[in-house]
Amino acid sequence: MSKQFAVFDIDGTIIRWQLYHAIGDALAKAGIIDMNHFEEVREARMAWKRREDEEQFRAYEAKLIQAFDAALVGMPVETLAQVTDKVFDEYKEQIYTYSRDLIQELKTKHYILFAISGSPNIIVEKLATYYGFDDYAGSEFLSKDGKFTGEINLSLGKKPALLKRLVEKHGADFAGSVGVGDSEGDIGMLDLVEKPIALNPSKLLFEHASKKQWQIVLERKNMIYQLESRDGSYVLAQTNAN
C-alpha cells in the first residue's frame, strides 16, 4: 500500500513571518547580537520595507544572517534554546489559515506530513511537533562542550535532497504527493511533488509556477483566493467566501 505525503515550507508558508529573522530580533533585544551589527540589519530591513529595489529583501536577509552567525560563535546552546522558546511561544499560532486547514485536511486523509525549512532545527522541531508533522528537516547549528562552534549545516539549497531522504526514510510515495512553498528556495522541492502549490509566491516562484501551470493561492486579510491555470492564464477558481 502506497504512502502519500505532503511537504510544507515553514517561514512564510505556515508561519506568517520568518522564524530565523524573529530569533535574530530576539537575540538583539537580549543584547546577544552586537547592536552596531544589528543597526545595519535594521537599516537594511527599512530599505526593504521601502521597496527600494527587487533585491532588497535578500540584502536585508544577508545582513541578518551575517549578524546572527557572528553572535553564534561561542554562544551557549542553552541561551539559544531560551530565546527560541520565547519566539516559538509568540509565533506558533501566527499562521496562514490556508496552510492550517490544509494540514488538518491532509491529516484526515492519512498523509505523512513533512516540514522542511531553512530555519534552525531547534525551532523547526518545535513547530513540526506542535502541528503534528511526522518528520522535519532544518538548518543544524553544530556545538561542542555546550557552546556553538559557528559551523552550520544549512538546509537552504538542499531541500530536494532533504525531501528525498525523508521520503525514503518513511517509505512514502511521490504519487499523489503535495507540496506547499512561498519562495524561489522552494522550487526544487516543489518540482518533485505531484501537486505543487505556490502560496503568496515571490516573483521568481510565481514565474516558475506560471510556466509549470501550478496552483497559486493568495491569502490576504481574511480572504483566500485559489487560482488555477487555464488556457495559458490564471483564473479565480475558488475563494473561502464561495
Distance, CA of 18 to CA of 101 (rounded, Å): 20
Q: What is the mean pLDDT of each run of 10 residues along the chain (242 residues)?
A: 88 93 89 84 88 83 86 93 96 96 97 95 96 96 94 87 96 96 96 98 95 96 93 89 70
| Per-domain boundaries in the chain | 4-15+95-239
C-beta separation of 163 from 146 below 8 A: no
Q: Output the pLDDT for position 1.
A: 52
Q: What per-residue confidence (pLDDT) applies to 64?
A: 85
DSSP 4-58: EEEEE--BTTTBSS-HHHHHHHHHHHTT-S-HHHHHHHHHHHHHHHTT-STTHHH
Which SS3 state, helix, strand or coil, does residue 154 take?
coil
Separation CA 76–CA 25 (nearest Å): 18
Beta-ladder partners of 143: 148
pTM of structure: 0.93
The domain covering 4-15+95-239 belongs, at the CATH homologous superfamily level, to HAD superfamily/HAD-like (3.40.50.1000)
Q: Tell me, what's the pLDDT at 57?
A: 86
The whole-number pLDDT of residue 165 equals: 96
Nine-digit cell at 50? 521601502
- What pLDDT is stored for residue 139 in this prediction? 92
